[in-house]
């Protein structure tokens, strides 16, 4: 039987001594966090205040921006403290809290993007029935599923990981992650691994399959429809596809890095790839949707002009 002790803290070993450069990194990370807060809060306020934007598409967008704020807040304050600290340790309860925040953020993001693709599918493929199919009640149900289901799924994942007896306490990352913790377990983790596969299928493969289906249908309508239909599809689907590809890219590399030996990859590149989907997506979405969607762009411009 393997020897184990009750772990009270984890050591994050991906950090390295940067000397006085840590203050430069701190300023860069702080600037990114402030920019994320400003841009996402601005668009949330614009959508909430203007009644002309109280439509399903913009309500789903508002949910996306709220989730980006939630996910970045689960990472950035912790990252800022760790950058200035000389000892990179974190207590077990806080570590699992961060795991919960980051996993629910990723799950909600995928489900939110799937719901948005379904909304665009109804709008483009069934324009005459859109208002009867995408009612306020339907929007509320979809948003409830988007947020509540991931929280329940991740809670189960944490409840399976937290009681594990661990034979070590080092995590080779700059933040807490569930899979590296499971790999530290002294005993069999078959249940955790099976649930991890089920979780991935439901939260990642499921939404991606729905998105693929809806876009196949949208493309069929575009090829057989009018020029106006194609223009509507391009204007509303382009930012959604760009956001999806950006987040999928970051998630893919994070999964690869967690499950395979990446020791041959430079440490700075590994850190960048592990942070990509939590930092770039909250920055990318407000800029993308703020520039591409004319209603949001014009309202943001009017707000900025009035304040100057």
Query: What tens digit of pLDDT does each residue of 204-214 get?
Result: 888 999 999 99
% of residues, the chain, pLDDT over 70: 91
Q: What pLDDT does 159 receive?
A: 94
* The predicted structure's pLDDT at residue 294: 65
**Average pLDDT in the 253-276 region?**
77
pLDDT confidence of residue 1: 44
Domains assigned to the chain: 9-307 (1.20.1070.10)
The average pLDDT across 236-256 equals 85
- The pLDDT assigned to 75 comes to 93
Looking at residue 69, its pLDDT comes to 95
pLDDT above 90 (res 116) = yes
Residue 232 in this model has a pLDDT that exceeds 90 = no
pLDDT tens readout for residues 24-83: 989 999 999 999 999 899 889 888 888 888 889 889 999 999 999 999 999 999 999 998
Q: Does position 189 have pLDDT exceeding 70, yes or no?
A: yes
Average confidence score pLDDT of the chain: 86
Percent of the chain past pLDDT 90, that is, above it, reads: 38
Where does the pLDDT of residue 258 fall: very low under 50, low under 70, confident under 90, or very high at 90 and above?
A: confident
Give residue 252's pLDDT: 84
Mean pLDDT of 154-163: 93
Output the pTM of the full model: 0.90
Predicted local confidence at residue 306, as pLDDT: 60
Give the mean model confidence (pLDDT) for residues 241-245. 88
What pLDDT does residue 8 have?
85
pLDDT computed for residue 308 by the predictor: 53
| pLDDT of the residue at 86 | 83
Q: How confident is the model at residue 297 (pLDDT cuts 50, 70, 90)?
A: low
Res. 111 pLDDT band, cuts 50 70 90: very high
| Integer Cα distance of 85 and 279 in angstroms | 21
Handedness of CA 212, 216, 221, 223 (dihedral sign): positive
């Amino acid at each position: 039987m393997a020897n184990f002790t009750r772990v009270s803290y984890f050591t994050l070993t991906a950090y390295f001594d940067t000397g006085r450069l840590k203050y430069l990194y701190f300023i860069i990370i702080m600037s990114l966090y402030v920019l994320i807060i400003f841009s996402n809060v601005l668009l949330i306020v614009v959508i909430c205040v203007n009644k002309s934007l109280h439509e399903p598409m913009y309500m789903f967008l508002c949910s996306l921006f709220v989730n980006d704020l939630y996910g970045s807040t689960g990472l950035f304050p912790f990252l800022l403290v760790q950058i200035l600290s000389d000892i990179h340790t974190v207590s077990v309860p806080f570590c699992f809290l961060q795991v919960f925040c980051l996993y629910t953020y990723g799950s909600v993001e995928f489900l939110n993007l799937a719901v948005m693709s379904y909304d665009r599918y109804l709008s483009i493929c069934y324009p005459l029935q859109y208002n009867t199919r995408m009612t306020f009640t339907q929007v509320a149900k979809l948003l409830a599923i988007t947020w509540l289901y991931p929280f329940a799924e991740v809670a189960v994942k944490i409840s399976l990981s937290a009681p594990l007896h661990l034979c070590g306490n080092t995590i080779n990352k700059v933040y807490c992650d569930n899979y590296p913790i499971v790999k530290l377990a002294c005993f069999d983790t078959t249940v955790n691994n099976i649930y991890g596969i089920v979780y991935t299928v439901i939260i990642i493969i499921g939404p991606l399959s729905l998105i693929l289906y809806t876009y196949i249908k949208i493309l069929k309508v575009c090829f057989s429809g009018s020029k106006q239909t194609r223009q509507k599809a391009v204007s509303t689907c382009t930012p959604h596809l760009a956001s999806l590809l950006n987040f999928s890219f970051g998630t893919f590399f994070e999964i690869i890095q967690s499950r395979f030996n990446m020791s041959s990859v430079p440490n700075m590149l590994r850190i960048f790839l592990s942070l990509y989907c939590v930092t770039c997506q909250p920055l990318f979405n407000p800029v993308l949707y703020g520039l591409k969607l004319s209603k949001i762009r014009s309202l943001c411009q009017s707000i900025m002009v009035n304040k100057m």
